[in-house]
Amino acid sequence: MSSEGFLKEVQAIGEKFLLKLQKLPKAEPVEIVSFSVVLLFIVTVLVLTVIACSCCCCSCCGCDGHPEPRHRKSQVRPAAR
């Protein structure tokens, strides 16, 4: 997918989202609850992704921003017969 196609798709999703938000005050309670659940799910996924990425970054680089020293690798040699 080209970047133009992707941008158009994101724009279309954004326009649908704004349209839903504009219709929300007139919507039925079931629609409001379902929209809230979907929105809560999206926010939860984004927050968990940020937490996972920050934990991964801290384990790779350490909290001070410098990479942790790697452990020395030992070479495995075949046993002599």
CA angle 75, 80, 81 (to 5 degrees): 155
Give the model's pLDDT for residue 65.
56
CA angle 34, 37, 41 (to 5 degrees): 140
Band (pLDDT 50/70/90 cuts) for residue 8 is very high
Segments making up each domain of the chain, as ranges: 2-55
pTM across the whole model: 0.53
Give the model's pLDDT for residue 67.
55
10-50 pLDDT, tens digit per residue, is 999 989 988 888 888 888 999 889 989 998 999 999 999 99
49-64 pLDDT, tens digit per residue, is 999 888 877 666 655 5
- 35 contact partners, CB below 8 Å, separation of at least 6: 20, 24, 27
**Cα dihedral 16, 40, 38, 20 in deg (nearest 10):** -30
